[in-house]
Amino acid sequence: MAFTTTLLVEQDEQIAWGISRAIAARGLPAPQHVTTAQAALDWVTYNECGICITAYRLPDMNGVDLTIRLRQRKPELPIYMISSAASEQVAVEAFRAGVNDYFVKDNQIYDAAARVVQRFTENQSKLVSISATQSIPDGMPSELLNPTYQNRLRVIGRQIDLNRYRMV
């Protein structure tokens, strides 16, 4: 199984330690931990990151602003937000900024974060094994390799165009 680097942006050391322990308990590498949004932006700029888990409240900016800036640098990066505010408004704001999912900080946050990282790692290893067994045509955009419904339709449309099928 191929492991990817997880970036954890959390100012609370105890929560970061708990999430790191939960991830390590599943046999995955411990995440790279930073405590500020600016440190996260700097780290992502110079390092490869597979997944990011960020807190909503950070000392230098909130998690929504960080998500927007991360999306500018790495549009395909999966971002998960955790927050102690069980507010619907914060969740809506986070989803509008582009987070993949939103978790409330409670007793299950450690297990939820570990499940997300494990699921992402398993999906990445499946994509690697699929691409190793199948040949991908030259010039295929990397966005089409994600197994989504829309991408399947795009691939079908591409095959129809390439094989010059015409509707009757």
Determine the Cα–Cα distance for residues 125 and 62; give it in Å rounded to an integer.
32
Q: Is the pLDDT assigned to residue 120 strictly greater than 70? A: yes
Question: Residue 167 falls within a domain, yes or no?
Answer: no
Q: pLDDT by residue (tens digit) across 36-63?
A: 999 999 999 898 888 999 999 999 998 8
- Report the b/e string of 80-105 with b at 16+ CB within 10 A: bbbbeeeeeebbebbeebebbebbbb
Q: pLDDT by residue (tens digit) across 89-119?
A: 888 888 888 898 888 888 888 888 888 888 8
Q: pLDDT by residue (tens digit) across 19-35?
A: 999 988 988 888 999 99
Question: Residue 58 falls within a domain, yes or no?
Answer: yes
Range of the domain at 17: 6-129
Residue that wins the pLDDT comparison between 41 and 153: 41
Calculate what percentage of the chain has a pLDDT beyond 70. 80
State whether 153 and 96 are in the same domain.
no
State whether 99 and 72 are in the same domain.
yes
Q: Confirm if 94 and 63 have CB atoms less than 8 A apart.
A: yes
State whether 33 and 75 are in the same domain.
yes
pLDDT band at 147 (very low <50, low <70, confident <90, very high): low
Sign of CA dihedral 83, 75, 61, 88: negative
Number of domains in the chain: 2
Question: Residue 17 falls within a domain, yes or no?
Answer: yes
pLDDT score, position 110 = 87
Question: Residue 156 falls within a domain, yes or no?
Answer: yes
Q: Is the pLDDT assigned to residue 128 strictly greater than 90? A: no
Determine the Cα–Cα distance for residues 52 and 48; give it in Å rounded to an integer.
11
State whether 71 and 147 are in the same domain.
no
Output the pTM of the full model. Answer: 0.70
CATH of residue 86's domain is 3.40.50.2300
State whether 41 and 101 are in the same domain.
yes
The backbone torsions φ and ψ at residue 36, rounded to the nearest 5 degrees and listed phi first, read: -130, 160
